Structure formats: C-alpha cells, structure tokens
A = this chain, B = another copy of it.
Amino acid sequence: MRMVVIGGDAAGITAASHVRRARPDAEIVVLERTPYTSYSMCGIPAYIGEEIATAADLVVRWPEQLRQAGIDVRTGVEAVAVDAEARTVATRDVATGAAASEAYDVLLLANGAHPALPPLPGVEHAQVVHTLDEGEALRTRLDAGGPDQRVVVVGAGYIGLELAEALVHRGLDARLVDLAEQVMPSLDPPIAARVAEALEQHGVALHLGEGLVEVRLADDGSREVVTTAGRYPADTVVLALGAAPNVELAASAGCALGDSGAVAVDGRMRTSVPGIWAAGDVVESRHLVTGRGVNIQLGTHANKQGKVAGIDIASQPGDGAATFPGVVGTAITKVCATEVARTGVSAAEAEAAGLEAAEVRFEGTAKAGYMPDPGHVEVVMRAEVGSGRIVGCQLVGGPGVGKRIDVAATWVQLGVSAPQAQFLDLSYAPPFGGVWDVLAVGARKLTKELGLDPQL
C-alpha cells in the first residue's frame, strides 16, 4: 500500500504515524509545502509575543525525525492537482518550480486552510500569519523594528485578538480593526463586549464597525491602513480575516464539498471519492446541536480526525472501526487575565438553525461571594424549548474560569437537559465557587425559564 498525505501538520502526521505503526508494509509519503512538520499553529501568537523564544519550540516532530520513523516526508513540495482516476498527485517543488507526480493507493487530504485575502487595494503590503513560516516572517520583521513600532491587525476573530494581545505583550503599539460591531463573531454580544473591554484595558486600540478599505505603502516604507472610518499609520499590517479550507485539490479530485464549503467526509473521514480521505481544517464536521455541516479549524479536531482516518486507512478485516462523532463548537481563548470560552450554539447560530432556545444570562463569582477577591464570571446559557437539552453556553471571567466550559461542552455533546444538569454532583468548596456551581445555576435558571420540573 502506498499512502500519500498532503499536509504535514496535525491531521496528516497523526494519520501517517498511525498507519506507520499499524501497517509495516505501507509506503508513506508526506508532501508539505513549508519547511515545517507537526507544529502547533495555535502557539504562533505566543511566539509572536515573545512568550516563546523560537519557532522551533512549537515543533513537535521535525521532518528528519519522521523520516527516521519511516515516513518519507518531502518538505517544500506542494500538491497541485489530484487525478483520482489515475490515482496520482501532481506536485511542484516550491523552490525550483519543478513538476513531478506521486502515485497513491490511498490519499489523505490534510492540507488545511489558509487566510483569504479580500479583493482590496494594497493587501499585498500586509502580512498573513497562518503557517509557522509566516509566523517566523512576522516575528523577524518585528524583531528588526524599533520599540515604537505600530502594528494594525485587521480582523478581530480568535487569531486577530490573540495577535493583538501578543503585540502589546511585547510592548508594541497595537490597533485592532474589524468591520463587525463586536469581537469574535461566534460569541454572544454581551460576552464579546467583556472581551473588548479586556482588550482595551490591556492597551489594544480597538476599532469596531470599521471596514478595511485599503492598505497604502508610503515612500518611507511604512503603511497606512484606510478604513471606512479612519486612517491609521502602521509599520506592519497583519490581516487576520479568517481562513478558508484549501478545497481546490479536493475539487480537482472530484471530492464533494459540504454546505459549509469544506470537504465532505463520513464518520471515518472518507471523501466521496474512493481512495481519498480528508481530515483537519480542510474538512466539514457535523455540528451535533444543529446537525449542520461546519468547518471549525482547531488542532484538537485535526488530531482526532487524523487518528480516525489513520485507523480506517490501516484497518484490515476484523479490525474495529473508529468514527469521528462531530463537534459542538467548543472554543477558548484569553486576553491577559480575562478568559473567554464558548460551546454549542450562540443566539445567532440558534436562530440561523431554526432552533428555538430559551436563554439565561447572569453574573456570578469564581469563589464563594464572601471570599476575598471572589472573581467575576458572566454566563450565557441556552436550552432547547421542549426537550430542555442544553444547547449552548458562553463564559467570561478571570483566571480558571475558561476551562469550566468543558462541563457545559460535555452537557451539550451528550444532550443533557437543564433539569438533569442542575442535579449533577459538581465540586464545591469556598475557594472554587458557591454551593451552586455557576453552571448548575445556569441549568437551574433554564429549568425555571422553560417551566420544567423540578424547579430547585
């Protein structure tokens, strides 16, 4: 069996490593466009912010280590097209432009996503930061600049926000611009407002409701960012407008795409074309609340999906199967000491999915209220009208608050109802909350809101 993997990060290397162990007979080739394999994309903001010293610190397994393990990694090689009939991948050497072809029995598309550039004048004068080599380029540029560098980040999603925080962390003048009226579109507006406050307190100049119009290059090499509401001089401009899955290869192979525009796969990560699997940021996952297809780009999904694909690819008659069940949209980030996390559907997502949900919103403390410095937590939780199942939760608060979302994520994924959730034996001691955990309070309030029993 000859397996070709396109993309050498989380999903691709996880799958390749599994097949390597399970099928000693297999020949495994990994094609990776950049010089790096198997690194933490999510750690790039911390590296930009000098919390992490070198790009190498983010690498889990180097190409040479993988080669020693029997995986034929080719860095600097880009896949250009797939011929699913002939079972070949047309490739191009990034440095020399030399074209070649790789035959496969099994193909895994793990070629991720990449920032989409808006069709606006001057965007070529901005940086994008998605892959580690792009992160290195930005870091090198900032390291070479003076202490008074001005950086404008366009796009206030997770990445934009984390980059802006990182820039302030290293003492630079950071400005964050977004067309939307709130940061992080997947947050409910009241929660997003707390995050915006934290950004501003941290020293990020925040411009919401301003669309990018143009990036201008001045004679002195500096930039000017022109928005619908202002003009901001900058030494560096970073575009963080979200990344689109790299579906061109899949499309060239004839693989069906899902409603989200990402590559459609079944639970075993098989595309619609025999012999081709896909995993990671390039695929569509099923959202377990709405039942709809979504493209959520996260290392945690990429790892699991890569493993599931690897298990299916390596499986022999009689082997157990693995199925990736889907996602519930859990996510977490922080701005300094302010942690924010979400799971399930936001109000906007519930409405878009035609899901009728009751919502409660309240404030609580991270410790018992009488403790010194009890902390502050703001919670939004929602449950489906009728069934009472909890379908969404968002939290914002101080240190230790964010990871509490995993409790609600478990409830959402398992379809736990609000009346059931209020009775769960969650931990209690005064340094950790009140006798009613904040999430149990949410379940209790939702039970009341929905008129269900018992109302504790």
* A51 at the binding interface (Cβ < 8 Å): yes
Contact A330 B429 (CB under 8 A): no
Interface centre among A299, A372, A424, A436 (most CB of B within 10 A): A424
Q: Which of B325, B372, B403, B409 contacts A432 (CB 8 A)?
A: B403
> Of residues 424 to 456 in A, which have CB atoms within 8 Å of B's CB atoms?
424-433, 435-437, 439, 453-456
A96 within 8 A of B: no
Q: Which of A80-88, A226-234, A349-357, A411-419 contacts B (4 or more CB under 8 A)?
A: A411-419
| A414 contact set on B, CB distance < 8 A | 414, 416
* Interface contact B413-A424, CB-CB below 8 Å: yes
Q: Please state if B304 and A456 are interface contacts (CB–CB under 8 Å).
A: yes
Q: Fill in one digit per residue for A45-82: 1 if any B CB lies within 8 Å of its CB, else 0.
A: 01000011000011000000000000000000000000
- A42 contacts which chain B residues (CB < 8 A)? 368, 428-430
> Which size bracket describes the interface of A in this complex?
35 or more
Q: Which residues of chain A from 292 to 325 have any CB-CB distance to chain B below 8 Å in the complex?
A: 298-304, 307-308, 311, 320-325
Picked from B327, B328, B372, the residue with its CB within 8 Å of the CB of A52 is B372
Using known A-B contacts A409-B427, A427-B330, determine if residue A435 contacts B300 with beta carbons closer than 8 Å. Answer: yes
- So how many copies of this chain end up in the complex? 2
- Complex: how many Å from CA A414 to CA B416? 9
Task: For the complex formed, measure the closest distance between the CB of A186 and the CB atoms of chain B, giving whole angstroms.
Answer: 13
A323 — which chain B residues lie within 8 A by C-beta?
454
In chain A between 265 and 288, which residues have their CB closer than 8 angstroms to a CB of chain B? 288
Q: CB distance A52 to B334 under 8 Å?
A: no
A204 at the interface (CB under 8 A from B): no
Contacts A42-B430, A52-B370, A423-B324: A406 and B334 contacting too (C-beta < 8 A)?
no
Cβ-based interface call for A40 (8 A): yes
A307 & B456 in contact (Cβ 8 Å cutoff): yes
Give 1 or 0 for each of A374-407: 1 = CB within 8 Å of chain B CB. 0000000000000000000000000110111111
B435 with A299: CB separation less than 8 A: yes
Complex contact A424–B453 (CB within 8 A): no
A343 interfacial by beta-carbon distance below 8 Å: yes
Known: A51-B372, A403-B404, A406-B439. A332 touches B428 (CB 8 A): yes
Which of B301, B425, B454 is within 8 Å of A308, CB to CB?
Answer: B454
Please indicate which of the listed interface residues A370, A372, A427 has the most CB atoms of chain B within 10 Å of its own CB.
Answer: A427
Most buried by B among A300, A303, A307, A405: A300
> A402-B432, A409-B425, A414-B414 are known contacts. Are A40 and B454 too (CB-CB below 8 A)?
no
Q: How near does chain B come to A245, taking the closest CB pair, in angstroms?
A: 19
A429 to chain B, nearest CB (A): 5
Q: How far is the CA of A327 from the CA of B413 in the complex (A)?
A: 22
- Report Cα–Cα, A333/B322, bound state, in Å: 38
Question: A368-B40, A371-B46, A439-B406 known; A427 and B324 CB under 8 Å?
Answer: no
B429 engages A332 (CB within 8 Å):
yes
CA distance in complex: A399, B439 (Å): 19
19 A-B residue pairs with Cβ-Cβ distance under 8 Å, sorted by A, are: A40-B435, A43-B368, A43-B370, A43-B430, A46-B371, A300-B437, A303-B436, A304-B423, A322-B453, A322-B454, A322-B456, A330-B425, A334-B429, A343-B425, A343-B427, A402-B427, A403-B404, A406-B427, A407-B407
